[in-house]
Amino acid sequence: MPVNPNKGETQDEFVSRCIAEEVSAGYASDQAAAICYSYWDKDKMSKIKDTQSKVMAKIAYDTKYKGIHLGQILPNGEYEFEEPCWPGYTQYGTKDMGGREVPNCIPDEGEE
């Protein structure tokens, strides 16, 4: 279940609290950190009022978290991950993007 920032809570305070909760829920600490930073960013994005800024924030969010699995733990204890590639593309290994390893998504045959 998503952890939400409290009113007046700084990013550092939220992320520390959130990571502790996500680790206790069964996530590895690096996975918990990615999840918590994405929660923080989504919360800030939800408060943007004008359409252009909201669209630009969504693009920045999608770029920042592209290729990072922000899955969830199912009741049976297994991980359920979001697909790493968008519809019409399949992951074929990984590649370096901006100093981090991300999925290499290639178009499905006949999808170009």
Per-residue pLDDT tens digits for 1-58: 678 899 999 999 999 999 999 888 888 888 888 888 988 988 888 888 888 888 888 8
Q: In angstroms, rounded to a whole number, what is the distance separating the alpha carbons of residues 112 and 109?
A: 7
Please state whether the predicted TM-score (pTM) of the whole model is above 0.85: no
The phi, psi pair for 53, rounded to 5°, reads -65, -35
Higher pLDDT, 24 or 81: 24
What does the buried/exposed string (b/e) look like for 44-57 if buried means 16 or more CB atoms within 10 Å of the residue's CB? eeeeeeeeeeeeeb
How many whole angstroms from its chain centre is CA 42?
A: 9
